[in-house]
Structure 1
């Protein structure tokens, strides 16, 4: 069986292609290059009023890159709302290798010493490729998303790739764009120099909440 390596995965992302497994039990990965790609415009990120209040209240301790593998494993968990996931053993292996090499990052919500939600993705240049998110407490993944967008904006990122647009993501302003448009944006983003870890997070979140578009009706 053909084995995908971490360097090969990076090249695929830079070309606009990403892998998924059919299920957590699958032994194979499949490549995807959708005709229409989901993105979340960083300059037009919508923060619902209730979420804005929750972020300001700070119900969770936010951390970055302290429990990357645990975040992937959380995203792979079966839940009542998501009985099946596409994260198999190869996905866990590959993205952990990317994290070890500095190309993948996690956003984590903690409470009372326990990981209660978060998300992870891949960063190349000024492009961040969001992979998956999870919540063990209400609102944890949403708070993590706000903190991710704040950090990406402050660090100079230009593209947040969501792969597809779900009803959940559309509430934050996610849109679909044609493949050619996506590749143009990706090429420009890859040329950027960014520093994901060199951000004053409190200042970044405050700037995002102040700049967020007015709540939608």
Structure 2
């Protein structure tokens, strides 16, 4: 494991330990965050912990044209009860992602420092959001980092206050990225939920090859 200073660099992702932890320290500057995502690395830590950088092996990814739409979810889409927007309420989405209570998770890894750092990236055009509304109430959404040159979207977090709301956001993100010929959505780590939507695990070496441009 490497300890970072103010110098803007990261070790090779292959140096990560078996859990995927690569480095400790550094900062959340826009320059470092963009370097991290472009290198297949992401920050993940809790309040009170040092800044931790990860590059797990294998890596969970979703190819936009492989999003699985079940019969029940297809029915949800046909009902058209949700209204979808892109990049109209980024601050609200990241705040809800930080505030939402998750099963088996005490607190949040989206610290106030992280919120401010991603807001800067949003204002610079790199961090994007998808919002799901019922009338004028925000009921779900997601955010992540867009790497258009690499044709990769790095998903960070999503939330849902109504059944299927976050899944709807994910579906519309995949549909948009499919039309833009994106190679993949980086989902970072395995969950049963992501697998049910068509996400798959790739060896880190294969993921890094796809990340190159």
Same fold by TM-score greater than 0.5: yes
Contact 1:133 1:141 (C-alpha < 8 Å) held by counterparts: yes
So what's the TM-score if we normalise by structure 2? Answer: 0.83
Deviation, 1:184, is: 0.3
- Find the aligned partners of 1:67 and 1:139 in 2 and give their Cα distance: 19
So what's the TM-score if we normalise by structure 1? Answer: 0.81
Q: Which residue of 2 aligns with 1:9?
A: 33
Question: 2:116 pairs with 93, 96, 114, which one?
Answer: 93
Q: Which residue of 2 aligns with 1:196?
A: none
- Find the aligned partners of 2:125 and 2:156 in 1 and give their Cα distance: 16
- Find the aligned partners of 1:83 and 1:118 in 2 and give their Cα distance: 21
How many equivalent pairs are there? 186
> How far does the alpha carbon of each residue in 1:134-163 deviate from its partner, in whole angstroms, 9 at most, with x for none?
011111001111101000101221111000
Matches within 5 A, 1:140-179: 140-179=165-204
Q: Which residue of 2 aligns with 1:130?
A: 155
Contact 2:143 2:155 (C-alpha < 8 Å) held by counterparts: yes
Q: Are residue 117 (structure 1) and residue 137 (structure 2) matched?
A: no
- Find the aligned partners of 2:136 and 2:170 in 1 and give their Cα distance: 20
- Find the aligned partners of 1:2 and 1:14 in 2 and give their Cα distance: 17
- Find the aligned partners of 2:152 and 2:100 in 1 and give their Cα distance: 29
Question: 1:53 pairs with 67, 75, 82, which one?
Answer: 75
Where 1:149 maps in the other structure, the secondary structure is helix
Structure 1: segments with no counterpart, 5+ residues? 192-217
> How far does the alpha carbon of each residue in 1:174-202 deviate from its partner, in whole angstroms, 9 at most, with x for none?
11111100000111xxx3xxxxxxxxxxx
Contact 2:61 2:201 (C-alpha < 8 Å) held by counterparts: yes
CA RMSD, aligned part only? Answer: 1.5
> Which deviates more, 86-95 or 74-83?
74-83
Compared CA separation, residues 102 and 80, structure 1 to 2 (3 A): closer
Deviation, 1:31, is: 0.2
Moved over 6 A (4+): none
Where 1:76 maps in the other structure, the secondary structure is helix
Deviation, 1:85, is: 2.2
Compared CA separation, residues 10 and 78, structure 1 to 2 (3 A): same
The higher-RCO structure (CA 8 Å, 6+ apart) is: 1
Structure 2: segments with no counterpart, 5+ residues? 1-24
